[in-house]
Amino acid sequence: MAASGKIASFRLPPLPTVGELIKLYSLRAEKQLSQNFLLDLRLTDKLVRQAGNLNNAHVCEVGPGPGGLTRSILNAGATDLLVVEKDSRFIPGLKLLSEAAPGRLRIVHGDILTYRMDRGFPGSICQPWEEDPPNLHIIGNLPFSVSTPLIISWLENIANRTGPFAYGRTQLTLTFQKEVAQRLTASTKSKQRSRLSIMAQYLCTVHHCFTIPGKAFVPKPKVDVGVVHFTPLVQPHIQQPFKLVEKIVRNIFQFRRKHCHRGIGMLFPEARRDAFTEELMCKADVEPTMRPIELTIPHIKALADVYAEMCAREPLLLGYDFREELRLKHLDKQRATLKAVPRGT
Ligand code: SAM
């Protein structure tokens, strides 16, 4: 790994432009892999600046593709950049970049959804959770097709301090479709408030940095793109298991236009739904007629704490899924109808 030094000494030597590389290796964008390239190095530099100081940093870049953002990360002074790319067509171009930045760029041909980032960096960079974030950043112009499952899985990792967060409070700077970026950062009562807003904001400080117009990408996507920065909180606002919080929030927001008791009721078996819902809302001191978008994180925390107590008292509650109850009811009905039909008809 390169020794510390002035940022200027990190700058890459002259290389073919990203556009030239795309032509050289005939890199047509694949729709299936959500490929929209950022070729304007001023924009990739701006995106990378949102991550903070990358001098001597370790960075994981998701989906480097033809390497525009990769160049900006290297130029910002990262000394250990690990890129994870699924599409083998980009590997030769990335190898060229790696030769231009000796010892600073590691290339993984793989899928970010299964890549074990907890094994990708030296243990020496670990920082205690309560202290400053480690000198490790995740940066990516994410493929739209994986951005939501990926951030949900990383939020779960944050809650459990696993994966990239085994090193401490690793910061993320990522792109999303503008609507998703708005949902991630939406405040209480805003139109975009959703499951994603609560899940992200109970675990992280989330900041919508800027919007990149769709026309800046090649090929141009139908939507604009938001750059979002996440810093995991030292103390999550809700201290219950991620899956339990996720279950409550999913149930609440499935009826986003109704009063919140409607979705909350679906946490409970039909036979005891009314009584359990009343108990939960009462003990959590949440007004049943509030709309899901009006609920603050302290409201969700109160609901999660009381629901966890109820699950401890009635262990079958945690695994209860109203869809499964509906499915079984439907099956019973079908069986009863079959029985009712006289034989031979
Ligand atoms: N970073 C490049 C840029 O900004 O121009 C490319 C961005 S493009 C939106 C998304 C990239 O992610 C593509 O290179 C695509 O092949 C890659 N990709 C898609 N799914 C992936 C996955 N599951 N794991 C790793 N890379 C993936």
Q: Which of 226, 58, 244, 40 is nearest to 147 (CA)?
A: 226
* pLDDT class of 335 with cuts at 50, 70, 90: confident
Query: The domain at 242-336 falls in which architecture?
Result: Orthogonal Bundle (1.10)
Q: Considering only the C-alpha atoms of the chain, give the largest distance between any 2 of them, rounded to a whole number of Å.
A: 89
CA torsion 289-295-301-306 (nearest 10°) is: 10
Contact 212, 43 (CB under 8 A): yes
**Nearest-atom index, ligand 1, CA of 33:** 19
pTM: 0.91
C-alpha separations of 194 from 131, 296, 300, 317 in Å: 30, 11, 12, 24
Using most ligand atoms within 8 A of CB, pick from 34, 47, 84, 175 the residue to mutate for ligand 1: 34
Complex ipTM, two decimals? 0.99
Closest by CA position to 229, among listed 115, 295, 127, 138 = 138
Domain ranges of the chain: 32-232, 242-336
Q: How far is the CA of 65 from the centre of ligand 1 (A)?
A: 5
Query: Contact 202/190 with Cβ under 8 angstroms?
Result: no
Rounded Cα distance between 118 and 139, Å, is 16
Side chain identity at residue 75, one-letter code: N
Q: What is the pLDDT of residues 232-280, one digit of tens each?
A: 999 999 999 999 999 999 999 999 999 999 999 999 999 999 999 999 9
Residues belonging to the binding site for S-adenosyl-L-methionine are 36, 38, 63, 85, 111, 141
Nearest-angstrom CA–CA distance, 122 and 251? 40
Does residue 318 have a pLDDT over 70? yes
Residue having the nearest C-alpha atom to atom 19 of ligand 1? 33
CA–CA separation, 118 and 124 (whole Å) = 12
Take atom 11 of ligand 1 and give the residue whose Cα is closest.
Answer: 63
Contact indicator for 231, 205 with CB cutoff of 8 Å: yes
C-alpha dist (Å) from residue 3 to 9, 24, 55, 79, 126: 11, 33, 11, 8, 19
Q: What is the pLDDT of residues 85-135, one digit of tens each?
A: 999 999 999 999 999 999 999 999 999 999 999 999 999 999 999 999 999
32-232 and 242-336 agree in CATH topology:
no
Question: Would you identify the CATH topology of the domain 32-232?
Answer: Rossmann fold (3.40.50)
Ligand 1 shell residues, CB under 6 Å: 33-38, 63-66, 68-69, 84-87, 90, 111-113, 141, 143, 146
